[in-house]
Structure 1
Amino acid sequence: MAKFSKSSVPRFSVEVYQNEFLPEGGREVNAIVTVTATGGGTTGGIPLPGASSGPADPPGRNPDAAVVIMVDCSGSMDYPPTKMRNARDATSAAVDTLRDGVAFAVVAGTHVAKEIYPGGGGLAIADAATRAQAKNALRKLSAGGGTAIGTWLGLADRLLSSVDVTIRHGILLTDGRNEHETPEELRAALDACAGRFTCDARGVGTDWVVKEVTAIASALLGTADIVADPAGLAADFTAMMENAMGKEVADVSLRLWTPVGVEILFVKQVAPTVEDLTERRTEATVRAGDYPTGSWGDESRDYHVCVRVPEAGLGQEMLAARVSLILPAPDGTSPPLPHGLVRAVWTDDMAASTAINPQVAHYTGQAELAQVIQQGLEARKSGDIDGATAKLGRAVKLASDSGNTDTAKLLSKVVDVVDAATGTVRLKAKVADADEMTLDTRSTKTVRVKK
C-alpha cells in the first residue's frame, strides 16, 4: 500500500498529445501522455485524506524516507586499490547528503550481504552523530570475496521493510559480474523486491555486465549508469542521493481504462528513459489496469500509449482510452487526480488522417534509437560488420534528426560518422570498452520533444 508524506504530495497534471483522426478502416491509435508533478512538500500539493494540518516540510526535504546503500566489496574492488577507496569516499559523500530524519543503512556486498552500519538488522536515523558513525564504519571496508547481488537486494528489502516510511530507496554499486548466483536467482530476487523499493544501480570500471545492471534498475524502477573512472563516484553518488531525497510520493500508478473492444498494444515510458511497462500491468477493475511508475518528486515524464480500436464508419468517434493517476491513500481511497482522454475519430479527410503528431513521431524515433543501438552493439560483438554498420548508422540518423546530441556524441566514439543526415557511418577499428559500455548503458536515455 502506498503511503504519503505528512502534509501533501505533488500536484499532478496530465496532458495528451495525439492525432485522433483515422482513415476509413484505421484501427491503431497512438498518444503521448505527459505527466508532470510540481509542488511536492509544499502547501501547493494535493491534500491527503486524514493528513496532518500542520506546516509542510520545506521543499525538497522529506524525512519520511529510508535509504540503503549497497557497496560491492568483492575481491575485484581491490584492482586497482583506488577503486575501493573511491567507493568508500563516494558512500561517505552519499551519507553526507542524507537529510536529517531519514532512516538509512550501509550494506557490504560480496557472495553474502553484511550490514556494516548500523547493524542489528535495523536502520539508523540520519543526524550529525549517525552520519559520522557511518563514515567511520566505512573506513573499515575492505575487498574480498565473490559477487551475489540478489543477496544484497534481499537484505536491503528486509532493512527497508523494518520502518514505516513513504519512500524506500536503494543505491547499488558493483564492479563485476554476478558470478556467485545464477541468473534465475537474481531474477527471483528482483521479482521479490519489485514494488517494495526503488533502486538506482551503477557499474564502476568496465568489468561488469551492462544487462545485469540495467535489469536491476529496470525491475526496481530506478536509474542505471556507468562510472567508468572510479574517481567520478563521489559526484555520482551525491547526485543520486539528492535525487532520492527529492522524492515525495511512492507507488504512483498510471491507470489505463479502455472500453469494450479496445486492445492495448503497449504502454511505455519514453522520457526521460525508454521503459516498456506493458507486461507490468495489474488488473484494477474489469476494464482498467495499473502500470507502476515508482516514486515522484518535482518532475515530468512522458508515456506512449498505443491501442487498437474496433472498426467504425466515417464520421464516427469514440473514447479509445482514459489515462489517470492512482495514488492509493492509507485508508484505501485515492485523492481525485487529473486524467487525460485518448480519442478516435474516423474521417475521409486524408490530410487530417495522415498527419503525424510531432510528439508521437519524436518518441517513436527515440524508442527505435534505443533499440537499434543495442542491436548494433550486439551485431558488432558477434562479428556481423554489415549488420552493426546498418543499425548504428540508423542510430546516428535518428539521434541527429531528434536533436539527441548526448547520444550522438556517444555514437561518434563507436563509429566514424560520414554523413549524419543519411546515417552513413564506418565502424571504428578499435573502441575503448568504456565507450562501448557507456553507449549501451545510456542507450535508453531520451530527449524531450521540442515544443
Structure 2
Amino acid sequence: MATFSAEVYQNEFLPDGGTDVHAIVTVTCSGAGEAGRSESGDAAEIVIVDTSGSMGDDKIRAVQHAAVAALDQVLDGVWCAVIAGSHEARLAFPTRSERGMVRMDARTRAEAKAAVATFRADGGTAMGTWLTLATRVFASVPGVAQKHAILLTDGINQHETPEQLSAAIETARGQFQCDCRGVGADWQVAEVRRIATALLGSVDLIARPEEMAADFEGIMRQSMSRGVADAALRVWAPQGAQVLFVRQVSPTVEDLTPRRQEVNALTGAYPTGAWSDEARDYHVAVRLPAKAVGQEQLASRVQVAVADTVVAQGLVKAMWSNDDTLTTRIDPAVAHYTGQAELAEAIQDGLAAKAAGDTDTATVKLGRAVQLAAETGNDEATSRLRKIVEIEDAGTGTVRLRRSVSKLDEMALDTASTKTTRVKK
C-alpha cells in the first residue's frame, strides 16, 4: 500500500506590513507498487508514433525497434494499443477487438509487435488527430484508472490548423497523461511542449534515431512503476487570502496554477498525475492580509489526496515580527527553486529571442541563465549553455552568443530547461 508524507520548508517570519508567504513542500511516495497491480485499479498504455513521410526508412526502422522496446515493458494485464500517426490517425493495434484496446499477454504482445513491423513512412503530420484517436481509444475501456501514452514526432504539425490541435489537446486534457518525444531537428519544441504540459507529461529530444529504443524503454518502465494512478495537491488558504501560485519545482518546473479545480470556497486541488516511489517538490505562495507584529496565522494547509482521501498534510505558517534577523532570512529551498524557475524562463526567452534575430535580448536572457545556473549549482544547464554562448564571467552573466550553433544543441537546451537540481536540505 502506498504511503505519502509531506514536509514544509519555509521562513515563517514576515516583517511589519508583510503579506507574502513562500514555502517548498516536499511530497514523498513509497510503496507505490506497479501500474494495474495496485489498489488504484486497471492501467492502460498507448504507443503513438509518427509514421509520416518525413520519417523515411531509417527512422521508421528505429520507431519499430522503439515501439517493440516499449511493448516489452508493458506488464501483463495492462490494457494496450498502438497508433500510427500521419496526416490521419490509424489504430495499428489491436485490429480485431470489440474495444480499442486489449490486455497485454504473450499472445497480444506478439500481435502488437507484428503490427509494428508493418509500419511504412507516408503522409503528413497532424498530431491533433493522433490525440483525438487516443482519447477515443482510452474511452473504449471504461473504468481504467491509470491512462498513459508515449507520443513521438519528427516534424511540425502542418496538416491541421493550430485551432484543431488546440481543440484536440483540450479534449485530451484530464483523460490521460502523455510523455512526448521529438526525434531529429525538424520539430518544434514549443509545439510539443504544449501537448506534454497539458497532459501532465514530459518533453525531450531524441537527437539520433538509434537512441529511440532506449528512451522508449525507459519511459514505459517508469510508467509501469507508477502504482498510484492519480494524486492531487490540495491547497487551503484562509478567508481573505490569495493563492498566488502553485508550482512543481522538482524534478521539473511545471506551473500547476492554471490547473486549479475548486474543492470548496477556500480549497483548490491541483492534479499531479500518477506516482511511483519518488519525491517531488512544490512551491506554494500565498498572500495574506497583514497583521500586527506578534500575531501568527496558518497561511496554508497543503494536502495530498488520492481518490478524495487525504493521505498527507503539511502546514505553512506566518508570524509577524520586527526582528530583521528573522524576517530577512530566505529559506534555502525557497531561494534555490525560485532561481531554478527563473532559469527555465530565461533559457526559453533567450532562445526565442535568438530565433527571432533579437541578439541583444538573447544575450541578456542567456547571460542571466548562465548566472542562475551557476548560483543554483545546475551543472547540466551550464554545460548545455556553453554550447550556445561563450561564457566570459558566470558570476555576472557576461556572455557572447556563439556564431555557429547546432540546432540540436539549441533544442537540447530548450527541452532540458525545465529540469531542476534538488536542493540540499
**TM over 0.5, shorter chain:** yes
Matches within 5 A, 1:412-451: 412-451=386-425
Residue 48 (structure 2) aligned to one of 56, 65, 70: 70
Letter of the aligned partner of 2:109 in structure 1?
R
CA contact (8 A) 1:77 1:175 kept: yes
Q: Secondary structure at the residue paired with 2:311?
A: coil
Aligned to 1:352: 326
Shift of 1:111: 1.2
Aligned to 2:335: 361
Aligned to 2:83: 107
2:7 aligned with 1:15, yes or no? yes
Letter of the aligned partner of 1:303 in structure 2?
Y
Q: Secondary structure at the residue paired with 1:337?
A: strand
CA contact (8 A) 1:376 1:387 kept: yes
Residue 374 (structure 1) aligned to one of 340, 348, 352: 348
Aligned to 1:176: 155
Percent identity between the two aligned chains? 54
The verdict on how the C-alpha distance between 1:361 and 1:434 changes in structure 2, with shifts beyond 3 A counting, is same
Letter of the aligned partner of 1:95 in structure 2?
L
CA contact (8 A) 1:83 1:230 kept: yes
Deviations 1:267-311 (A, max 9, x none): 111111111111111111121111111111111111111111001
Shift of 1:165: 2.3
After TM superposition, the runs of 4+ consecutive aligned structure 1 residues lying more than 4 A away are: none
2:31 aligned with 1:39, yes or no? yes
Letter of the aligned partner of 2:259 in structure 1?
R
TM-score in terms of structure 1 length: 0.91
Q: Distance in 1 between matches of 2:122 and 2:76?
A: 33
Shift of 1:186: 1.1
Residue 129 (structure 2) aligned to one of 151, 154, 157: 151
TM-score in terms of structure 2 length: 0.96
Matches within 5 A, 1:167-316: 167-316=146-295
Q: Distance in 2 between matches of 1:336 and 1:90?
A: 39
Letter of the aligned partner of 1:215 in structure 2?
R
Residue 129 (structure 1) aligned to one of 87, 99, 107: 107
CA contact (8 A) 1:112 1:152 kept: yes
Shift of 1:420: 1.9
Deviations 1:363-412 (A, max 9, x none): 00000000000111111112222221111111111111111111111111
Q: Distance in 2 between matches of 1:11 and 1:122?
A: 34
CA contact (8 A) 2:347 2:417 kept: yes
Unaligned stretches of 5+ in structure 1?
Answer: 1-7, 43-55, 329-333
Aligned to 1:5: none
Shift of 1:238: 0.2
Aligned to 1:392: 366
Q: Distance in 2 between matches of 1:261 and 1:207?
A: 49
Shift of 1:430: 0.8
Please give the root-mean-square deviation of Cα atoms over the aligned residues, in Å.
1.6
Deviations 1:319-376 (A, max 9, x none): 1111101222xxxxx3341211111100010000000000000000000000000111
Deviations 1:159-191 (A, max 9, x none): 112223221101000000011111121111111
Aligned pair count?
421
Q: Distance in 2 between matches of 1:347 and 1:433?
A: 52
Q: Distance in 2 between matches of 1:278 and 1:16?
A: 19
Letter of the aligned partner of 2:63 in structure 1?
A
The verdict on how the C-alpha distance between 1:99 and 1:232 changes in structure 2, with shifts beyond 3 A counting, is same
Aligned to 1:53: none
Aligned to 1:28: 20
Q: Distance in 1 between matches of 2:355 and 2:204?
A: 21
Letter of the aligned partner of 1:422 in structure 2?
T
Letter of the aligned partner of 2:78 in structure 1?
V
Letter of the aligned partner of 2:136 in structure 1?
R
CA contact (8 A) 1:63 1:101 kept: no
Shift of 1:232: 0.3
Deviations 1:173-211 (A, max 9, x none): 000001111112111111111111100000001100111
